[in-house]
């Protein structure tokens, strides 16, 4: 069964550094998402992406965050200058259609630790 893959599984970075989290969505999917989960808290929506542009973003997704689909397979999340509070699990997801009749498929996440 096709799956969403994320790399790296764990990233440690120093405060103020830039990080790029990578995702390979399911190959025929067109809609892409990033979510995050701070330890012990709820899964939170960050951003959705379609047709090479952001279609929706949450308040968390400020100017420090950006997303890109640099080629036909990868989908990346960049954090320009990391803060301690960015430490979390980051999940990428994809779906085939934008309707409620289409489930999201999630990767197993990248654990980001900012020191």
Q: Which residues bind other proteins (CB under 8 A)?
A: 4, 31, 33, 35, 42-45, 48-51, 55-56, 89, 91, 93, 95, 98-101, 103-109
Pair 107, 4: CB distance under 8 Å: yes
Beta bridge partners of 82: none
Pair 70, 21: CB distance under 8 Å: no
Residue placing its CB nearer to other proteins in the complex, 14 or 53? 53
Q: CA–CA distance from 107 to each of 9, 33, 43, 71, 84 (Å)?
A: 10, 11, 13, 19, 23
Pair 18, 82: CB distance under 8 Å: yes
Pair 77, 67: CB distance under 8 Å: yes
| Closest separation in Å from C-beta 16 to other proteins | 28
Residue placing its CB nearer to other proteins in the complex, 78 or 97? 97
| Closest separation in Å from C-beta 11 to other proteins | 16
Residue placing its CB nearer to other proteins in the complex, 27 or 41? 41
| Closest separation in Å from C-beta 98 to other proteins | 5
Residue placing its CB nearer to other proteins in the complex, 35 or 65? 35
| Closest separation in Å from C-beta 64 to other proteins | 20
Q: In the structure encoding, which two tokens stand for residue 61, read together? A: 């997704």
């Amino acid at each position: 069964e096709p799956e969403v893959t994320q790399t790296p599984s764990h990233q440690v970075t120093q405060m103020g550094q830039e990080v790029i989290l990578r995702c390979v969505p399911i190959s025929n999917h067109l809609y892409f998402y990033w979510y995050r989960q701070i330890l012990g808290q709820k899964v939170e929506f960050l951003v959705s992406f379609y047709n090479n542009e952001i279609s929706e973003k949450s308040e968390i997704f400020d100017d420090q965050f950006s997303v890109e689909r640099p080629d036909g397979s990868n989908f990346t999340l960049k954090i320009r200058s990391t803060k301690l509070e960015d430490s979390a699990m980051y999940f990428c997801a994809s779906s085939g259609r934008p309707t409620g009749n289409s489930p999201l498929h999630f990767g197993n996440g990248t654990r980001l630790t900012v020191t």
